[in-house]
Structure 1
Amino acid sequence: MPDAPPTLRFLGAADTVTGSRYLVEAGGRRILVDCGLFQGYKKLRERNRADFPVDPASIDCVLLTHAHLDHSGYIPALVRDGFRGEVLCTPATRDLCELLLPDSGHLLEEEARYALRKGYSKHATPIPLYTEEDARASLRHIRTRPFDAAFEVGPGIRARFLHAGHILGAAQIHLEVQGIRLHFSGDLGRPHDPLMRAPAPLPACDVLVCESTYGNRVHPAMDPEQELAPVIRRVAARGGTIVVPAFAVGRAQALMLDIARLRQKGEIPPLPVFLNSPMAIDATELYRRHHDEHCVPETECSGMYGIATLVRTVEESIALNRRRGPMIILSASGMATGGRVLHHIAAFAPEPHNAILLSGYQAAGTRGAALAGGATSLRMFGREVPIRAEVVQLQSLSGHADAAELVAWMGAQRDAPAITYLTHGEPDAADALRLRVRHTLDRACRVPEHMERVALAAGSR
Structure 2
Amino acid sequence: MSGGHTTLTFLGGTETVTGSKFLLEHEGTRVLVDCGLFQGERRWRRQNWEAPDLDPAGLAHVMLTHCHLDHCGYLPALVRQGYDGPIWMSEGTQALTEIVLRDSALLQERDAEDARRDGYSRHDPPLPLYTVADAEQAIRQFRTLRFDDDAELAGDVGVRLTRAGHVLGSASVSVRMGGAEALFSGDLGRPSHPLLRPRAVPPAAATVVVESTYGDRAHQEPEGQSHEALADVVRRTVGRGGSVLIPAFAVDRTELVLLVLSELMRDGRIPKVPVFVDSPMALAALDVYRMPEMRSELRDGVVPELVHLPHLEAARTPEESMRLNNPRTPCVIISASGMATGGRVVHHLRHLLPDRRNAVVLTGYQAAGTRGRALIDGAHEIKMHGRYLPVRAEIVQDEEFSVHADADELMQWLRSLPEAPETLYVVHGEPEASEALAQRVRDELDWTVVVPRRGERVRVG
CA–CA separation in structure 1 for the residues paired with 2:52 and 2:245: 37
Shift, 1:440, TM fit: 1.7
Q: After superposition, give the CA deviation of every residue in 1:7-50 in whole Å (9 maximum; x if it has no partner).
A: 00000001100001000001310000000000111111111111
Q: Which residue of 2 aligns with 1:67?
A: 67
Matched with 1:39 is 39
Shift of the alpha carbon at 1:300? Answer: 6.4
Quote how far apart the aligned CAs of 1:197 are.
2.0
Partner in structure 2 of residue 351 of structure 1:
355
Q: Is the 8 A contact 2:4 2:178 kept in 1?
A: no
> What letter matches 1:378 in structure 2?
I
Match of 1:448 among 443, 449, 452: 452
Q: How far apart, CA to CA, are the structure 2 residues paired with 1:304 and 1:141?
A: 37
Q: Is 2:161–2:171's contact at 8 Å kept on the other side of the alignment?
A: yes
Deviations 1:237-277 (A, max 9, x none): 22211111100001000010111011111111101100000
The amino acid across from 1:220 in the alignment is Q
Indicate if the aligned counterparts of 1:118 and 1:382 stay in contact, CA closer than 8 A: no
Number of the residue aligned with 1:48: 48
Preserved CA contact (<8 Å) 2:10 2:457: yes
Q: Measure, in 2, the Cα distance between the counterparts of 1:440 and 1:177.
A: 30
Q: Which residue of structure 2 lines up, in the alignment, with residue 339 of structure 1?
A: 343
Distance 1:286 1:274 in 2: 19
In the TM superposition, residue 384 of structure 1 has moved relative to its aligned partner by 0.7
Distance 1:227 1:197, change over 3 A: farther
The amino acid that maps onto 2:67 is A
- Give the Cα–Cα distance (whole angstroms) in 1 for the partners of residues 187 and 226 of structure 2: 20
Change (3 A) 1:266 1:379: same
Question: Which of 256-265 and 303-312 deviates more?
Answer: 303-312
- Distance across 1 between alignment mates of 2:417 and 2:102: 39
What is the alpha-carbon distance in structure 1 between the residues aligned to residue 285 and residue 275 of structure 2? Answer: 17
Distance 1:387 1:435 in 2: 38
- Other-structure match for 1:236: 238
Deviations 1:119-170 (A, max 9, x none): 1111121101011111112111111111111112344421011111111111
Partner of 2:227: 225
Runs of 4+ in 1 over 4 A off after TM superposition: none
Cα 1:305/1:138, change in 2 over 3 Å:
farther
Task: After superposing the two structures, state which structure 1 stretch, 3-12 or 226-235, moved more.
Answer: 226-235
More displaced 10-residue stretch of structure 1: 346-355 or 229-238: 229-238
Segment of structure 1 superposing worse, 70-79 or 154-163: 154-163
Q: Which amino acid aligns with 2:314?
A: L
Question: In structure 1, what is the equivalent of residue 312 of structure 2?
Answer: 308
Please state whether the residue corresponding to 2:382 is helix, strand or coil: strand
1:329 matches 2:328 = no
> When the two structures are superposed, what TM-score results if normalisation uses the length of structure 1?
0.96
Kindly report which structure 2 residues correspond to 1:58-457, keeping only aligned pairs within 5 A, or say none: 58-222=58-222, 224-289=226-291, 290-295=294-299, 297-299=301-303, 301-304=305-308, 308-413=312-417, 415-457=419-461
**Aligned-pair identity (%):** 46
* Structure 2 portions without partners, runs of 5+: none
Q: Distance in 2 between matches of 1:6 and 1:119?
A: 48
Deviation at 1:324, TM superposition (A): 3.7
Cα separation, 1, equivalents of 2:81 and 2:149: 31
The Cα shift of 1:192 comes to 1.6
Deviation at 1:414, TM superposition (A): 5.0
Query: Which consecutive unaligned segments of at least 5 residues does structure 1 have?
Result: none
Q: 2: distance between equivalents of 1:154 and 1:9?
A: 21
* CA distance in structure 2 between the partners assigned to 1:115 and 1:155 by the alignment: 44
8 Å contact 2:244–2:361 — kept in the other structure?
Answer: yes
Looking at structure 1, the residues matched to 146 and 311 of structure 2 have their Cα atoms a distance apart, in angstroms, of 32
Structure 1 window deviating more from structure 2 (298-307 vs 401-410): it is: 298-307
CA shift in 2, pair 1:206/1:224, >3 Å: farther
Q: CA deviation at 1:232?
A: 1.6
Equivalent position amino acid for 2:233 in 1: V
The number of residues matched between the two structures is 457
**More displaced 10-residue stretch of structure 1: 304-313 or 234-243:** 304-313
TM-score by length of 2: 0.96
Q: Which amino acid aligns with 1:398?
A: S
Look up the match of 2:23.
Answer: 23
CA contact (8 A) 1:159 1:175 kept: yes
Question: Secondary structure of 2:103's match?
Answer: helix
RMSD: 1.5
Amino acid at match of 2:240: R
CA drift at 1:98: 1.4
Displacement of 1:352 after TM fit?
1.1
One-letter code aligned to 1:406 = L
